Chains A and B, each alone.
Chain A
Amino acid sequence: MNAYEIVLKSREKGRPTAAKYIEKMVEGFIELHGDRRFSDDAAIIGGVGYIVGKPVTVIGIEKGEDTNSKIEHNFGCAHPEGYRKAVRLMKEAEKFHRPVLCLVDTSGAYCGIGAEERGQSEAIATAILDMIRLKTPTLSVIIGEGGSGGALGLSAADEVWITETSTYSVISPEGCASILWKDSGKVAQASECLKLTAQDLLELKAVERVVEEQGFSDAFFEGLKESIAAFFEGQKAIPADTLVEKRYARFRKF
Chain B
Amino acid sequence: MNFEDLKKFFFKKPKNALEGTDESSSAQKPAEAAIPDKLAEKCEKCGKIILSDEMRDNFGVCPKCGHYKKLSARDRIAMCTDSFEELFQDESGKNILDFPGYAEKLEDLRAKTGEQDGAVCGAAVIGGVKCAVFSMDYRFMMGSMGHTVGEKITKAFEYATENGLPVVGFVLSGGARMQEGIVSLMQMAKTSAAVAKHSEAGLLYISVLTDPTTGGVSASFAFESDIIMAERGALIGFAGPRVIEQTIRQKLPEGFQRAEFLQKKGFVDLIVERKEMKEKLAALLKIHCTEADA
Pairwise interchain contact A254-B176, C-beta atoms closer than 8 A? no
Question: How many A-B contacts are there with CB distance less than 8 Å?
Answer: 154
Q: Is A133 an interface residue (CB 8 A)?
A: yes
8 Å CB contacts to A: which residues of B214-253? 214-216, 218-224, 236-239, 243-244, 247-248, 252-253
Pairwise interchain contact B182-A129, C-beta atoms closer than 8 A? no
Q: A170-B182, A254-B187 are in contact. Are A118 and B224 (CB under 8 A)?
A: no
Stretch binding the partner chain, chosen from B128-136, B188-196, B278-286 = B188-196
Pairwise interchain contact A206-B238, C-beta atoms closer than 8 A? no
Sort chain B's interface into a size bin. 35 or more
Interface of A is mostly: helix
Q: A149-B215, A149-B216, A195-B181 are in contact. Are A251 and B200 (CB under 8 A)?
A: no
Q: Is A58 an interface residue (CB 8 A)?
A: no
8 Å CB contacts to A: which residues of B79-123? 97, 99-100
Chain A residue total in the interface (Cβ 8 A): 46
Pairwise interchain contact B223-A122, C-beta atoms closer than 8 A? yes
Hey, which chain A residues are within 8 Å of B99, CB to CB?
A: 193
Pairwise interchain contact B193-A111, C-beta atoms closer than 8 A? no
Pairwise interchain contact A179-B178, C-beta atoms closer than 8 A? yes
Q: Is B15 an interface residue (CB 8 A)?
A: no
Closest B residue, CB atoms, query A247: B193
Q: A118-B265, A176-B178, A251-B190 are in contact. Are A111 and B219 (CB under 8 A)?
A: no
8 Å CB contacts to A: which residues of B149-199? 150, 154, 176-190, 192-197
Hey, which chain B residues are within 8 Å of A116, CB to CB?
A: 237-239, 244, 256-257
Give the docked Cα–Cα distance between A193 and B266 (Å): 39
Pairwise interchain contact A125-B248, C-beta atoms closer than 8 A? no
Q: B150, B188, B218: which contacts A128 (Cβ < 8 A)?
A: B188
7 sample A-B contacts, Cβ–Cβ < 8 Å, listed by A number: A121-B237, A128-B220, A153-B219, A169-B181, A170-B181, A175-B178, A193-B99
